[in-house]
Amino acid sequence: MSSNSLPDPEISHAVFIGSASYNNLTPLPGVTNNLDRLNTLFTSQAVWNLPSEHCTVLHEPTTTLEIVKAVRHAAQEAKGALFIYFAGHGLVDRDTGELHLGIPSSEVSDPHLTALPYDWVRREVLRSPAFHRIVVLDCCFSGRALGMMSEHSAKSAIDRAEIDRTYLMAAAAENSTAIAPEGDIYTSFTGELIHALTNGVDNDSPLVDLDTLHALIENGLNAKGYPSPQCRDRNQAGRTPFARNSAYTGRRNTLEPESASGHTPTSRDNNETDSPAKDLTQRLGCLDIDNPGTRKLEILVDGASVGGISAGRQARFHIATGSRSVRARSGDKYSESRRVEISTQSRVRISYAFAGGARIESSSRANFAADSSSWSLLGVFLMFAFVPVILLSLVFSDASTAEGPVHWLILTFAFWYGAVFFMGIQLRWLSGLNLSDTGVACIRFKRKEISWREVDWIGIREEGRAVDLVFWPHGTSRSNPPEPLGRLDNIAKKHELDEIRGALMWYAGDRYIEHP
């Protein structure tokens, strides 16, 4: 994974665990809101765009085994990032000092019998093949919860929770009041986490890493007189980008501003000076596409409506290159039936109609582009094509008979037809993609072997006007070639972009690379 890119959400998983009600411990009513809000943020395009089926939320788990199974499944499936979050009472064994995670039936006197030993979770996370492993514990280590805090402090419990190659962040609150102030929607620590993810940080980075996130949470807690959160960082995991920066001026914030207590401000700053055209330029103008090893292309367009493409507006996809498939999705979960398939006959076959009556146009004719080297290969092939034709004619035809010339012509036609058809398939390159500004949140090419050398142009269309974000790997010339990506500011001015907002992300090797 690159340090300047988010972990791939398609191969990442998150588990949110929490209990608000307890039989024998102080209730923590904010925990329920913690889980729901974090799940919403993680699956939103503005923060991480994690698929909803990759997020597991456990409200009030009744058994410790339920937690272990959820963590184990996510840990085994995650290849990009694994995120484990727990909110509730953290119990420390008086004899061993080991950390236990409380469930509704937990008891302070017997945490080893009634709560989940954190070491169980630690083992599952440690076995995960995920490139990044992030654990966030919003636990209280108060005298009310533990009975005593003398020999084994909260910090020592966090030390025991540490996992190699994992970033661990925990709220070492001293009492239940500090972790869940009366009247607040969220617990104090998670409230600051939600505030940081929602509002971002005012700097020049489009992404927020874990160290920055911890600093924001710590500042927010200290300003209110709450204890500082604990964190552990192995192998500089704190530099890992964790979320998109909602405050970044080159990206529109699609989230409502929110305070750490969970109350949405009644007034908003509407003096936004950046136009969508400038926004697009800032985010795409400095792209430097010169990596021939890039194998996956993703286009993100802001403004997705709830449930799919906005009603009454249609998106057109024009893609060509053999048998390929892409999938379109909005902020909600998608299924395989929502796939847009590209047939070998260069026609787009549609298998899903989006909510609101919108459809992706079916049976759209695709365009083709050809590499000059492939044309050269075809020329050499055709130059020597007469040799097998003559051999075939000598074997299967008799020139002394009247049918001989007819057989020769039939074989020649069949051979040439087959040769052109075969080479035609080989010359089908990915020539372009046109996307209208309808709120499609994600279009991804699933076949990893697609490379930027196959990309001829990418077009974003809005009400008939096209702005081509182009890459010319073969020096292809056209009648009206658009400017390269490095001159996107000129494209924005020329076409007077006033509604189009987008971002490009490409996949190189095993990591994403996102540019502002």
CATH of the domain at 168: 3.40.50.1460
CB count within 10 Å of CB 514 equals 19
| Measured CA angle at 385 (ends 384, 387), to 5 deg | 75
Q: pTM for the complete prediction?
A: 0.50
- The answer on 170 and 26 residing in a single domain is yes
* Predicted local confidence at residue 98, as pLDDT: 82
* Predicted local confidence at residue 119, as pLDDT: 86
Residue 257, domain member (yes or no): no
Token pair of 483 as six digits: 């400017």
Residue 3 CA to residue 131 CA, distance in Å, equals 12
Nearest Cα residue to 101 out of 55, 150, 160, 185: 160
Residue 289, domain member (yes or no): yes
Q: Is 322 exposed, middle or buried (0-12, 13-18, 19+ CB in 10 A)?
A: middle
- The answer on 176 and 292 residing in a single domain is no
Compute the Cα dihedral for 45, 48, 49, 53 and give only its sign. Answer: negative
Nearest Cα residue to 186 out of 228, 155, 221: 221
* Predicted local confidence at residue 416, as pLDDT: 65
| Eight-state DSSP code of residue 347 | E
Per residue of the chain (516 residues), give pLDDT as tens: 445 678 889 999 999 999 999 998 888 888 999 999 999 999 998 899 999 999 999 999 999 999 999 999 999 999 989 999 999 888 888 887 788 899 999 998 889 899 999 889 988 998 998 988 999 988 765 322 223 223 344 455 555 555 556 888 888 644 444 456 767 889 989 999 999 999 888 887 889 999 999 999 999 988 888 878 878 876 677 888 889 988 876 544 445 555 555 544 433 333 333 333 233 323 333 333 332 222 223 333 322 222 222 222 223 332 222 223 333 332 233 222 223 332 223 333 333 333 333 333 333 333 333 333 344 455 555 555 556 666 666 665 555 555 566 666 676 667 666 665 555 444 333 333 333 332 322 233 323 233 333 333 333 333 332 223 333 223 333 333 333 333 333 333 433 333 223 333 332 233 333 332
What 3-state class would DSSP assign to 242? strand
Residue 134, domain member (yes or no): yes
Q: Point out the domain boundary residue: 221, 244, 267.
A: 244
13 bridge partner residues: 82
| Eight-state DSSP code of residue 11 | G
How many structural domains comprise the chain?
Answer: 3
Residue 337 CA to residue 325 CA, distance in Å, equals 12
Residue 129 CA to residue 143 CA, distance in Å, equals 37
- Measured CA to CA in angstroms, residue 313 lies from 76, 294, 308, 358 at distances of 40, 32, 11, 6
Residue 176 CA to residue 187 CA, distance in Å, equals 10
Residue 419, domain member (yes or no): no
Q: Is 171 exposed, middle or buried (0-12, 13-18, 19+ CB in 10 A)?
A: buried
Determine the structural domain holding residue 139 and report its residue range. 12-244
Residue 92 CA to residue 79 CA, distance in Å, equals 31
- The answer on 435 and 406 residing in a single domain is no
What residues contact 330, with CB distance under 8 A and at least 6 apart? 304, 305, 306, 307, 308, 309, 354, 439, 440, 441, 442
Q: Where are the beta strands (DSSP E) in 141-244?
A: 166-170, 207-209, 230-233, 241-244
Amino acid at 458: I
* Predicted local confidence at residue 29, as pLDDT: 86
- The answer on 381 and 365 residing in a single domain is no
Residue 186 CA to residue 29 CA, distance in Å, equals 8
Residue 170 CA to residue 57 CA, distance in Å, equals 19
- The answer on 309 and 228 residing in a single domain is no
Residue 51, domain member (yes or no): yes
- The answer on 150 and 43 residing in a single domain is yes
Residue 363, domain member (yes or no): yes
- The answer on 380 and 354 residing in a single domain is no
Residues composing the chain: 516
Nearest Cα residue to 462 out of 501, 493, 432: 501
- The answer on 355 and 228 residing in a single domain is no
- The answer on 468 and 341 residing in a single domain is yes
- The answer on 405 and 292 residing in a single domain is no
| Measured CA angle at 248 (ends 242, 295), to 5 deg | 55
* Predicted local confidence at residue 260, as pLDDT: 58
Nearest Cα residue to 472 out of 454, 456, 451, 485: 456
- The answer on 387 and 365 residing in a single domain is no
Residue 398 CA to residue 463 CA, distance in Å, equals 63
Residue 299, domain member (yes or no): yes
* Predicted local confidence at residue 397, as pLDDT: 54
Longest dimension (CA), the chain: 109
Token pair of 58 as six digits: 């456990």
Q: Point out the domain boundary residue: 381, 411, 441.
A: 411
- The answer on 177 and 194 residing in a single domain is yes
Residue 260, domain member (yes or no): no
* Predicted local confidence at residue 55, as pLDDT: 96
